[in-house]
Amino acid sequence: METILNALNPSQKEAVEHIDGPMLILAGAGSGKTKTLTTRLAYLVGEVGIDPANTLTLTFTNKAAAEMRERALKLMPSRVSYPPLLCTFHKFGLLFLKFHIEKLGRSNAFVIIDSDDKKRLIRSIAKELKIDLNISFIASEISKYKNSLLSPEIVVEKAELPDYKKIASIYVAYQKNIEENNLVDFDDLLMLTHQILAQNDTLRKETSERYKYIMVDEYQDTNELQFQLLELLSSEHNNLCVVGDDDQSIYGWRGANIRNILEFSSNFETCKTVKLETNYRSTEPILKAANTLIEHNSTRLGKKLTSHKGAGENVKLIHSLDESMEAKAIAHSIQKLLDKGADPDEIAVLYRINALSRSLEEGFTKSGLAFKLIGGMRFYERAEIKDIISYFRVLSNPHDDFSLIRIINKPKRGTGKASIEKLQKAAFEAHVSLFEYIEKSLQGDLPLVISKKVATSLTKLVEDVKLLQSEVSTTLGNFITLFEERIKLKDHYASMVDGMDRIMNIDEFYGLFRDAVIKNPDLTLDEFLNDISLQSDQDQIEEDAITIMSIHAAKGLEFEHLFVIGLEEEFFPLLGEGCNMEEERRLGYVAITRAKSDLTLCYVDSRFYKGRRKMIDKSRFLGEAGLVKDASLKITKQAAFKKGDLVKHKIFGIGRVQAANKSGKEYKLLINFGGNKKEILSSFVQSI
């Protein structure tokens, strides 16, 4: 064990050797946080003698979990008979609910629905309630409610503005629907886990006693629900070690609460804080720019990165007339790198706004550069892939009405909307699932409410499901071949305009499934479905091409040669109502610190954006990073809070902002706390 400690610097070693009590490891970019975390886990298990079953390590992506698991196991002695639990928050929630969801009166045969399923269900409810609001916005609000532990009843009671009252009514119907169909959305995995632990004191104690040593990666990205869940899990011992960087907190827009890391020391008494400030990724000029920029933020714990690599090339700037010239200049620079033998996988171009990728795609295509765009439509969200997954779900659980309705007419079986509605109504009245009603009505045990022609085609569907279920119960080795032979999804899509692309996607999925079975011969269909339900964008990054991606998607990654485009006011930083300048600056810090040795920042004089050409100023961040002397230093007219925001006050609880007005260095907010309206300074509330 001494050998793995020898590989650490003094700060890392100090963090690893801390055993009991809360600890905050403030880990700067590229400072070896993963090494520190995995070594500490190996130290607890292999040196201290902690039972692996008493540890729990939580991450945010499957990719990070897999990497950390592999690295930790390599550091552990061979006598460790089984690995510790190291997974994402949501995977932990899934495992917990499989054992305990029955405490909520629900079956553990629940089905996880993804964001696409969620939006489809919301769209159906909104149409039924005659509500015309943006579906993505409704889905986002429901997600915020769940991650703030707000039940539909509370939201209905608190909703003041007309649109939010409409969303509240959709939330009520949505939650009723998924509970009746035993569905679980992504947010439920944690919300229901928290609900069970909060309501069952004995189970809370047992669970906390089981996981006596808890570690959390990327703690700055946790939200209110995750914080409260961690409080419950560590309630019996407070052995909670969190690793994170307040300067890399860039997910406030999706609920991450930077106060979780800023206030960790006050939330957990006797907390030990260790700062990791030696950066092993980037050269001195890159870190100088990052340090100089982030020092303009006032809300931070404070640290300064120093480079282990030492001197290197200065940060370069590319100034272009417009986005086309910018793309051409970057393509030229990249081609020179490739000609010198640079690895395409070590080259990336980042942007703040997704729309800026268009000019890059066009420019790179014209230049003949192979690239991969990260953050477009996810593979698993494509219609043809969703269809296969829905079939698999029906095979796994034939009572999954939600999935059955999606595929009942794919390929076409003459089962139109009218037939489906008749079947749904009949199944509801007979108190059986849709599949069960179809099966029994075809056998003559229940009334046949559809035409004989439709009945004939559905007979084939029932036979196919039964046959494939039989195959799944024995072996998955030949399953995909049989599946395509019986269902013929490729034939269904072949006649479409983009049929070839869809067939290629189907083949890709089939290959993925076969590969998963080869890697794990004991794999079950349920396990496969659960794994792909928990996939993230970064789990799908391909190899051997230049990467084009948003800065948010690049978090946690690193590249030898990095270009960042759009360093202009209104683009980066993003300006306007609701803009949080400190988070924008943290985003700039994240972008810069993705570079190892070669960083180029790009800005233009004009861009074609939202339908018109616009003259723009260079970003203030170039000046704040010490790279130019004349960067725009405009005061941003923005509020951290705006009308309609949901906020939390430590005394008055949850409220909705009705007005926000400047008051000195902060804002005076008029907040409605369930009918009790108060004027509160913004520093006394937090966004949720």
| Residues catalogued as catalytic | 33-34, 217-218, 248, 594
Q: Is the preceding omega at residue 10 within 30 degrees of 0, hence cis?
A: no
| Residue type, position 455, single letter | A
Backbone angles phi, psi at 377, to 5 degrees: -65, 125
Backbone angles phi, psi at 443, to 5 degrees: -85, -10
Residues in a beta bridge with 654: 648
The Cα–Cα gap between 150 and 136 comes to: 19
The Cα–Cα gap between 203 and 546 comes to: 49
Query: Could you tell me if 558 and 309 are in contact, meaning their C-beta atoms sit under 8 angstroms apart?
Result: no
| Residue type, position 514, single letter | R
How would you label 327-360 residue by residue, b for 16+ Cβ within 10 Å and e otherwise?
bbbbbebbeebbeeebebbbbbbbbbbeebbebb
How many Cα atoms occupy the beta-carbon half-sphere of 126 within 13 Å?
Answer: 19
Whose tokens are 């009590």? That residue is 21
Query: Could you tell me if 362 and 326 are in contact, meaning their C-beta atoms sit under 8 angstroms apart?
Result: no
| Region of residue 166 (left: phi > 0; alpha: psi -120 to 50; beta: else) | alpha
Q: Is the preceding omega at residue 83 within 30 degrees of 0, hence cis?
A: no
Q: Are strands 653-663 and 666-673 parallel, antiparallel or unpaired?
A: antiparallel
The Cα–Cα gap between 71 and 64 comes to: 11
- For residue 627, give the nearest of 552, 564, 583 by alpha carbon: 564
The Cα–Cα gap between 473 and 604 comes to: 60
Q: Which H or E run contains 226?
A: helix 224-233
- For residue 473, give the nearest of 436, 517, 524 by alpha carbon: 524
Q: In what order do the strands lie in the sheet with 240-244?
A: 85-88, 55-59, 213-216, 240-244, 23-27, 272-276
Q: Are strands 240-244 and 272-276 parallel, antiparallel or unpaired?
A: unpaired
What letter does residue 636 receive in the DSSP assignment? P
How many Cα atoms occupy the beta-carbon half-sphere of 349 within 13 Å?
Answer: 31
- For residue 79, give the nearest of 109, 51, 105, 117 by alpha carbon: 51
Token digits of residue 399: 């009572």
